Structures are given as structure tokens and as C-alpha cells.
Amino acid sequence: MNLDEFLKELEIIGIKLSEKQINDLIKYKNFLIEYNKHTNLTRIVDENDIYLKHFYDSLTIIKYIKINEYKTILDIGTGAGFPGMVLKIVYPNLSVTLLDSNNKKIAFLKELIKLLNISVNLVNNRAEEYIKDKRECFDIVVSRAVSFLPVLLELTIPFVKINGYFIAMKGDATNELQLSKNTANILGASIKSINNFKLIKEDSIRTIIIYEKNERTKLIYPRSYSKIVKNYLK
């Protein structure tokens, strides 16, 4: 997917970018390619693949939820900024927090934020530590291609406000959904929608699961990461 194709596909899903937003994404793409030559951030470094598999894929959630109607977003395990940084560029009024425990990826994001002159809250920490200060503080929590779903739910849902949403962006999540069918309920949330589709151009399977926070999560959650992995909620 080249730049022109990317922009056309965005218009189909209701996104019209300004010249500044387009230039910011081009800078983002170029900086990612150059930085990745000396620091491994992503295996996807082809220009066309970045437009498709990073930028466009990050924005597919807007087909299922009106992101721009919310204020605060937390991206857990953001990596090189997907989807949180892309959402911030497209919806600059959002208050976006990017959370990752990987020092090298945080270092990249610090430089990217300077390059683009964008205001983003960058946090170098683990979710189970950051929750101590940010329990039920975010309208939307999102995580893309991060962790096994039963584990991910315990790490993310405690951050979500009542009536807010957690959005899990996955590939084929059939098995993970089956294994986590009761997990969200234990944490005070429920599935609002499961959205399956194929990514354009390559037809790879994508699943976007939206969970709605119905009640407060018990303070015992999240447990330590080792406990979550060893005995996930079911």
C-alpha cells in the first residue's frame, strides 16, 4: 500500500487527513525505517508495509468505535507507537498515554515526539506497576498484538473508567476468546462487540474485541505478572 492508496482507504472509513497530518506520518515512517537500522523496533520496515500493517491497521478501530468522542486513551504495550501515536496524529485533541516497559522503544518514542512536536504522555513502566497511580482513569484503553488475551484483560481492564472501553486488537483470536470467556466478567467488564475482518491487500485475519467496563474492578487485580501468567482468570 503506497501513500496514495493509504489516503484513499482512509477516506473510505471516514478519515480525511490534513497536509500536516500526512507530513507527520511520512516523517514517522521515515524515522522508523532509519531508527530500525540500528535498534530493532519492528520486523515491518518496508515503506508500503508500514502504511498498511502499522498505520492503516492502527486506524481500523475507528470503524467500530468513535474514538474522537473520547478524551483519554492509554495504549498498553505500545512498542513503536502503534496504535497510540497514530491515533494522536489523526485525532490531535485526544490525550494519549503510551505505556511500554521496553527502554529501547521508549527511547525511540521520545525522539519521535520531539521530531513531530506532539504532546504525548510517555510512560516507561509495567502495567501492573503503573496501575497503582492510574486505576480507572482512562476512557479507552487499547492494546495491539500484545500478550495472550486472558493475561491481557487482567492488565488492562483495571485502567478503564466505568462505562469506558478496552479495545483488544488481535489476529485470529478464536481460541483466546474461548479461553477468556469469563475473564472480563471477573474484572467488571463485558464484551460489547467482536469484529472480525480481513486486512485489505493481504487478507490476513484481524479481530477487534471491544469490552465495556460495567463496574469497578476488585483491588486485588491486577495480580503480579508471574501470578497472572501462571494462573490466568477463567
Each domain of the chain, given as residue ranges in start order, spans: 69-230
Which pLDDT belongs to residue 145? 81
What is the DSSP code (8-state) at residue 216? Answer: P
Q: With 0.85 as the threshold, say if the pTM is over it.
A: yes
Which pLDDT belongs to residue 147? 85
Which pLDDT belongs to residue 81? 97
Q: Rounded to an integer, what distance in angstroms lies between the CA atom of residue 126 and that of residue 159? A: 13
88-127 tens-digit pLDDT: 999 999 999 999 999 999 999 999 999 999 999 999 999 9
Handedness of CA 134, 139, 142, 148 (dihedral sign): positive
180-228 tens-digit pLDDT: 989 999 999 999 999 999 999 888 999 999 999 999 999 999 999 999 9
What is the grid cell recorded at 178? 474461548
Is residue 13 within 8 Å of 68, Cβ to Cβ?
A: no
Over 90: is that where the pLDDT of 130 sits? yes
Q: Rounded to an integer, what distance in angstroms lies between the CA atom of residue 113 and that of residue 31? A: 11
Q: Rounded to an integer, what distance in angstroms lies between the CA atom of residue 226 and that of residue 102? A: 18
Which pLDDT belongs to residue 218? 97
71-99 tens-digit pLDDT: 999 999 999 999 999 999 999 999 999 99
46-77 tens-digit pLDDT: 999 999 999 999 999 999 999 999 999 999 99
Across the chain, mean pLDDT equals 96
Which pLDDT belongs to residue 202? 84
Which pLDDT belongs to residue 119? 96
Which pLDDT belongs to residue 146? 84
Which pLDDT belongs to residue 178? 92
Q: Rounded to an integer, what distance in angstroms lies between the CA atom of residue 227 and that of residue 234? A: 13
Which pLDDT belongs to residue 211? 98
Q: Distances from the Cα of 38 to the Cαs of 31, 85, 104, 202, in angstroms?
A: 12, 21, 11, 28
Topology of domain 69-230 in CATH is Rossmann fold (3.40.50)
